[in-house]
Amino acid sequence: MKQVVSVSLGSSHRDHSVEVELLGEQFRISRRGTDGSLEKAVELLRELDGKVDAIGLGGIDIYLVAGGRKYPIRDGVKLMRVPKQTPVCDGSGLKHTLEREAVRYLFREQVLRPGQKVLLVSAVDRFGMAETLVQEGARVCFGDLIFALGIPIPLYRLSTVALLARLFLPIITVLPFQWIYPTGEKQEAPCSKYQRFFDWGEVIAGDFHYIRRYLPPRMEGKIIITNTTTREDETLLRDRGVKLLITTTPVIEGRSFGTNVLEAVFLALLGKRWEEVRSEEYLDLIQRLNLKPTIRVLN
């Protein structure tokens, strides 16, 4: 049986483990949170190295992307380099492939429509989704300044995101990751001060920890496109009035794992290290596994 583990800087309360068969291979897939502690993550990565088939890094990125450029995150790169034997990834390979295909599918099936107002909480974290939403004709508000930096200025052009990325990401990416992204207990601390941006969007898309942290009390009729949701998250969204919950990764035993987990599964299936895999290989696996967005009607 192949073993894949997501080592996450998120809360350990969200830990989970499942067994599933994919393309004739048995997998045990686990998620282990370190409650925001980089030191615990390093210790866990050392413990798992050479003992599992692939590792996904959750709650942190290795790179952010804007305007065709990659910006390495110091803490993410540091974690990636800890394991010496086991392949490590952060999910960005699937953000470049699976999430693009998911958005195209949603427009093709008329779940989304051109001209629809979409709040994408972070473009540099979801660059494939950001580019495809724009290509399909959505009216997109990029919340990178709002949700990562606490600056309530919406952005409406990818070119603006790319310009600001060139100016600020070389500085931001060397800061402690906890300063720009909710980790540990912060993921469970609600804050609804940006409600007007949620009110504007007909569709709320992107990283679920940003969405959950800033979720307004009422979300009637909204569509949410995300992943890493649990049954408890689904109940929360239903109670707030959300119409549709769409996850770009498959739902297994009531939860959708992050892109980092699914990408680690892909590495285990391919028997390759992260830097060796081509986009075409991911797209081939997506087709063979018949992966499509999971759409759940909540209200």
The per-residue pLDDT for range 211-268, each reduced to its tens digit, is 999 999 999 999 999 988 989 999 999 999 999 999 998 887 777 878 999 999 999 9
Round to whole Å and give the CA distance between 83 and 52. 11
Question: How many Cβ atoms are within 10 Å of 251's Cβ, its own excluded?
Answer: 16
Cα–Cα–Cα angle for 102, 106, 108, nearest 5°? 110
- Asked if 184 contacts 10 with a C-beta cutoff of 8 angstroms, the reply is yes
Question: What is the number of alpha carbons within 13 Å of residue 54 lying toward its C-beta?
Answer: 26
Contact 5, 261 (CB under 8 A): no
Residue 209 vs residues 69, 163, 218, 228: alpha-carbon distances, Å: 24, 25, 17, 9
Residues 77, 155: Cα–Cα separation, whole Å = 28
Within 49-157, where are the H helices?
A: 74-80, 92-96, 98-108, 127-135, 149
Alpha carbon 20 to its chain's center: 21
The residue ranges of DSSP E strands in 114-235, in sequence order, are: 117-120, 139-142, 203-205, 223-226
Neighbouring C-beta atoms of residue 85, cutoff 10 Å: 9
Partners of residue 184 on adjacent β-strands: 10
Q: For residue 178, what pLDDT is reported?
A: 74
Question: Which domains are present in the chain?
Answer: 2-91+258-297 (no CATH), 96-251 (3.40.50)
Between CA 237 and CA 139 the distance in angstroms is: 23
Percent of the chain with pLDDT over 90: 80
- Please determine, for residue 191, whether its predicted confidence score (pLDDT) is greater than 70: no
Instruction: Average the pLDDT over each of 53-57, 86-90, 186-190, 204-208 and give the range with the smallest value.
Output: 186-190
pLDDT value for 181: 72
Question: Percent helix, strand and coil across the chain, each rounded to 5?
Answer: 40, 25, 35
The answer, yes or no, to whether residue 188 has pLDDT greater than 60, is no
d(CA 161, CA 67): 8
- Output the pLDDT for position 226: 95
pLDDT at res. 184: 53
CA dihedral 43, 12, 173, 71 (to 10 degrees): 90
Instruction: Give pTM, 2 decimals.
Output: 0.91
Structure confidence at residue 250 (pLDDT): 83
Average pLDDT over residues 24-34: 94
Contact predicate 16/10, CB 8 Å? no
Q: What pLDDT score does 253 carry?
A: 75
Q: What is the pLDDT of residue 292?
A: 92
pLDDT for position 152:
95
Task: For residue range 127-176, list pLDDT tens digits in order.
Answer: 999 999 999 999 999 999 999 889 999 999 999 999 999 999 999 899 88
State yes or no: pLDDT of 190 exceeds 70. Answer: no
3-17, 177-191, 276-290: the lowest-pLDDT one:
177-191
pLDDT one-digit tens code per residue, 40-91 = 999 999 999 999 999 999 989 998 988 889 999 999 999 999 999 999 999 9
First to last CA, the chain: 39
110-116: average pLDDT: 98
